[in-house]
């Protein structure tokens, strides 16, 4: 009886931990970006939107936006240096996003993940090459 109760408890724990591990994250567990995706979901999704991790923290409409709504990374493309800068300095303005929510290796993993997965729904804007003259 006791053994049965214990194994039930263990099962429940395993299920809970499993759910906690990668819920909402659709980056494969075998992907080198999976860890960064989970870290992003845990630390950044409250204020940023990114569908690959189920994050919906950005504003959806101008009428219900709040100060902490950060850029939507489905649309905004970032490179790793920009993400590390934002993590260290609290966004680009330093006004709203907290600084150093993650540091070291974890910050790097988030930066690499975000650089790879941000901007997937960015609009393609036609570009014209302009040669600037220095004369
Ligand atoms: C409390 C809310 C909040 C949290 C948590 C948060 N951010 Fe932000 N973030 C913002 C806001 C608001 C801005 C826009 C203002 C600014 O850049 O200062 C922003 C800006 C950014 C930018 C600059 C984007 C651009 O192109 O303008 C990046 C990159 C960024 N955040 C990444 C992250 C990452 C990575 C995490 C998790 C480690 C995170 N944020 C957690 C609120 C947040």
CA dihedral 115, 116, 121, 126 (to 10 degrees): 70
Asked whether residue 113 is assigned to any structural domain, the reply reads yes
Report how far apart, in Å, the C-alpha atoms of 83 and of each of 6, 48, 69, 87, 119 are.
44, 13, 16, 6, 13
pTM to 2 decimal places: 0.83
- Judge if the beta carbon of residue 83 lies within 6 A of ligand 1: yes
Asked whether residue 34 is assigned to any structural domain, the reply reads yes
Domain encompassing residue 109: 23-117
Kindly report the protein residue whose alpha carbon is nearest to atom 13 of ligand 1.
70
CATH of the domain at 112: 1.10.760.10
- Judge if the beta carbon of residue 76 lies within 6 A of ligand 1: yes
pLDDT in tens, the chain (135 residues): 677 776 766 555 555 444 456 789 999 999 999 999 999 999 999 999 999 999 999 999 999 999 999 999 999 999 999 999 999 999 999 999 999 999 999 999 999 999 999 999 998 888 888 888 887
CB neighbours of 37 closer than 8 A, spacing ≥ 6? 22, 25, 27, 31, 52, 53, 113, 117
Q: Report the C-alpha gap between 56 and 52 in whole angstroms.
A: 10
């Amino acid at each position: 009886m006791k053994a049965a109760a214990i194994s039930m408890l263990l099962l429940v724990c395993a299920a809970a931990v499993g759910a906690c591990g990668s819920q909402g994250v659709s980056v494969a567990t075998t992907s080198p970006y999976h860890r960064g995706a989970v870290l992003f979901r845990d630390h950044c999704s409250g204020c940023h939107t990114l569908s690959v991790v189920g994050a919906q923290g950005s504003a959806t409409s101008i009428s219900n936006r709040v100060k902490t709504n950060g850029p939507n990374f489905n649309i905004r493309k970032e490179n790793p240096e920009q993400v590390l800068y934002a993590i260290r300095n609290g966004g680009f303005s330093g006004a709203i996003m907290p600084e150093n929510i993650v540091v070291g290796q974890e910050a790097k993993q988030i930066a690499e993940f975000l650089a790879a997965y941000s901007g997937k729904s960015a609009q393609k804007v036609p570009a014209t090459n302009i040669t600037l003259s220095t004369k």
